[in-house]
Amino acid sequence: MQTKGLRGTVRAFKARHPDFYEFIMFNLWSNAATITNFVVLWFSTGLIFKALAATPFHWFIFDYPVKSGGLGGFYSFLLAYVAAQIVNYFVQRYIVFGAHNNIADSLPWYIGTVVFAGLVSVWLPPHVIAWLAPYIGGFAATVANVINIVLQVVINYPMLKFKVMKKE
C-alpha cells in the first residue's frame, strides 16, 4: 500500500470535509492575529501606555480601575484589538476564505462585526482581571486576553463565513 504523504492526506481531508477544514484553517490562521494581539498588548501595556495605568478609566460600559490597568489598560486592549483585526481581515480574506467578493460590500460588515466583538473585548477584561487577580496576580490580564480571543472565534467565524467572506 502506497502512502499519500502529508500533503495528500490533507488534500483528501479537505475534499471530504471542506467546512471543517475551513474552520481549522480559520483557527490556525487566526494565530497571526493572536500573535499580533499579544505583542501589541504587552508592548503597549509595558511601554506605550504604562504611565496611564495609574489613571482610573470609567466611561459608558467600560470600567478600568487602576488595579485592572486603568486608562493604560483600556488603551492597550483597544490598540491590540484593532491591530489584530487589521491583520485578521487580510489573512482570513485571502488565505482562509479565498474571498473575491467586493471589498466595498464586505468591509462594512467586517467593521460592524469587529466593532460589536470589540465592545465585548474592551468591556470584559477589567471584570475578568478583577475576578482573577487575587488568585493569579498580573497574569490575569493575559487570561482576560485569552478569553477575548475565544469570544472572537464564536462571534467572527459565523459572520465571516456566511456574510463577510461569502463566495459570490
The 10s digit of each residue's pLDDT in 127-164 is 899 999 999 998 998 999 889 888 878 898 999 988 89
State the cell numbers at 37. 494581539
Burial 116-152 (b: 16+ CB within 10 A, else e): ebbeebbbbbbebbbebbeeeeeebbebbbebbbeeb
The ranges assigned to domains in the chain are 18-164
Question: What's the confidence (pLDDT) of residue 140?
Answer: 92
pLDDT tens profile 60-114: 888 889 988 899 999 998 899 899 989 999 999 999 998 888 888 888 999 999 8
Q: What is the pTM for the complete model shown?
A: 0.75
104/152 Cα distance (integer angstroms): 23
Q: Whole-number mean pLDDT of the chain?
A: 89
**Confidence band for 1, pLDDT divided at 50, 70 and 90:** very low
The pLDDT of residue 2: 52
Residue type, 84: A
3-state SS class at 1: coil
Residue 59 pLDDT > 80: yes
- On the question of pLDDT at 168 being above 80, the answer is no
Alpha-carbon distances of 145 from 25, 42, 73, 98, 161, rounded to whole Å: 21, 11, 11, 28, 24
87 in Cβ contact with 32 (< 8 Å): yes
State the maximum Cα–Cα separation within the chain, in Å, rounded to a whole number. 67
